[in-house]
Structure 1
Amino acid sequence: MTLFSKIIAGEIPSYKIAEDDRFFAFLDIFPATPGHVLVVPKTEVDRLFDLPAEYLNGLLTFAQPIAKAIQQAFPCDRVNILTLGFEVPHAHVHLIPMNGMADADILASKKKAEPEELAAAQQKITSYL
């Protein structure tokens, strides 16, 4: 069972943003920028493009209202979607508020957020959903 599957199952606490029968979205505790959200399919597949077609087709539809909520909660030029997938062997995408190319270097800017920062970000984002 991957770390993300444990988060989805509630075995590891998270700052949940949204959930449906196929996907789970939660705050990255090492955000590149405030409001950084991970969107994870509930099916445990390592590589994004190995997901069943119905998951690939539904991923952006699920992520769209979350990205719009992030944009409102953390005003930025755009919310971008990044896929890396090397840290956890479970397909996922990053929704990151960005104001320029420098924000795309998410590994350089990641630092562990404080619980109160995460709780405040969770409340801000979910208030727009």
Structure 2
Amino acid sequence: MTIFSKIIAGQIPSFKIAENEKFFAFLDISPLREGHTLVIPKTEVDNLFDLSDDYLSELLVFARPIAKAIEKAFHCNRCGIEVIGLDVPHAHVHLIPINSANDLNFTQHKPKASDEQLKKVQELILQHL
């Protein structure tokens, strides 16, 4: 069971942004930028492109209103999307408010956010969702 499956099951706390029967979105606890959100399928699949066509397209449809809420909640040019998938063997996409391509640079230091910071970010996104 991956750490993401444990988050979905409620065994590990998270700052949930959205959920339905197939997907779960929550804040990254070590964000590249304030508002950095992870979107994951509830099915445990390592590689995003191993998801079925329907599941893959539904993931993007699920992520769209979250991305739009992130764009409204934070000063940015747009919400960027990144797929890396090396740290956790569970398919996921990163939604990050960006002003330049460098804002998606995962080689940058990612400090752990405090629960207070994450709660504030969660509330901001949820106000626009």
- For 2:114, the equivalent position in structure 1 comes to 114
- Matched residue, 1:26: 26
Counterpart amino acid of residue 93 in structure 1: V
CA RMSD of aligned residues (A): 0.8
Question: Residues 39 and 92 of structure 1 are in contact (CA less than 8 Å); yes or no, is this contact kept in structure 2?
Answer: yes
Structure 2: state its 5+ residue gaps: none
Matches within 5 A, 1:13-92: 13-92=13-92
Runs of 4+ residues deviating >4 angstroms: none
User: Are the aligned partners of 1:32 and 1:107 in contact in 2 as well (CA < 8 Å)?
Assistant: no
CA displacement at 1:109 relative to structure 2: 3.5
Deviation at 1:100? 0.7
What is the rounded CA distance, in whole Å, between the counterparts of 2:43 and 2:34 in structure 1? 27
SS of the residue aligned with 2:11? coil
**Normalization by structure 2: what TM-score?**
0.97
Aligned-pair distance for 1:13?
0.1
Three-state SS of the structure 1 residue aligned to 2:46 is: coil
Aligned mates of 2:65, 2:52 — CA distance in 1:
22
Q: CA deviation digits over 1:49-82, x for unaligned, max 9?
A: 0012221010110000000000111120110110
* Identical positions, percent: 59
The answer to whether the Cα contact below 8 Å between 1:81 and 1:93 also exists between their aligned partners in 2 is yes
Separation of aligned partners in 1, 2:17 and 2:107: 22
